[in-house]
Chain A
Amino acid sequence: EIVMTQSPATLSVSPGERATLSCRASQSIKTNLAWYQQKPGQAPRLLIYDASTRATGIPARFSGSGSGTEFTLTISSLQSEDSVIYYCQQYNNWPPFFGGGTKVEIK
């Protein structure tokens, strides 16, 4: 089983500033990584797949990068509605596995 570790657990960012979230895999997963956003009381929403491809309808301020074991989700200019929880998920190895999440707060 591949373990996914997200950091930091909580990230405080001022409105309009850049937010950088990290996800590390316990072994190489190439670019088989997805990012999800989860608002309170809602299901996760797919933001990014294949490490860097935005899903349909996702704003351009969200971008993903990385390969192998180190990945990054960047929100280029934080909006108030972005202050929620983000999860990464690997799908290179079976079974698919999610990280523990990063909560983004408005500073």
Chain B
Amino acid sequence: QVQLQESGPGLVKPSETLSLTCSVSGASISGYYWNWIRQSPGKGLEWIGYIFHSGSTNHNPSLESRVTMSTDTSKNQFSLRLSSVTAADTAVYYCAKSGFCSGSTCRNNWYFDVWGRGALVTVSS
């Protein structure tokens, strides 16, 4: 079955860039939409954005232009970078899968059927 695993630094200083990678097993990264979602006590669950294997991305406008996402098809991984972090970005970050492809047609159904275990990222000096 499809499994996801987040990795990256657990501590980031304010104003710096948070970087996380999600490793995908059991499925090709070329077949689905790959999302980042975070969960903090103050804001609950918040969708950050998705990336498709073609490189197209879509992110939550609440994060303005701080979000960058990329894929590495050779490693079957995708990544998140969140710039200019503050304490409000402290959260558990999840990667999650959505959508499907049938033949050459792909559709994002916008609900998340497989999740990683999550990575706690704390923003503190």
Contact between chains at A43 and B44 (CB < 8 Å)? no
**Beta-carbon contacts of B93-120 to A below 8 Å, as 1s and 0s?**
0101000000000000111110111100
**Minimal Cβ-Cβ distance residue in B for A45:** B115
Contact between chains at A46 and B47 (CB < 8 Å)? no
**Minimal Cβ-Cβ distance residue in B for A57:** B1
Q: Does A44 contact B (CB under 8 A)?
A: yes
How many angstroms between the C-alpha atoms of A96 and B61 in the bound complex?
Answer: 11
**Minimal Cβ-Cβ distance residue in A for B62:** A95
**Minimal Cβ-Cβ distance residue in A for B48:** A95
Contact between chains at B116 and A46 (CB < 8 Å)? no
Contact between chains at B115 and A89 (CB < 8 Å)? no
Contact between chains at A97 and B115 (CB < 8 Å)? no
Q: Does A62 contact B (CB under 8 A)?
A: no
Residues of chain B within 8 A (CB-CB) of A95 are: 47, 60-62
Residues of chain A within 8 A (CB-CB) of B72 are: none
Chain A interface helix/strand/loop/mixed: loop
Interface residue tally for chain A (C-beta within 8 Å): 22
Q: A46-B112, A49-B111, A89-B111 are in contact. Are A98 and B45 (CB under 8 A)?
A: yes
Q: Does B16 contact A (CB under 8 A)?
A: no
How many angstroms between the C-alpha atoms of A36 and B44 in the bound complex?
Answer: 13
23 contacts between A and B (CB under 8 A): A32-B110, A34-B111, A34-B112, A42-B117, A43-B94, A43-B116, A43-B117, A44-B94, A46-B112, A46-B113, A49-B109, A55-B113, A87-B44, A89-B111, A91-B109, A91-B111, A94-B58, A95-B47, A95-B61, A95-B62, A96-B111, A97-B47, A99-B44
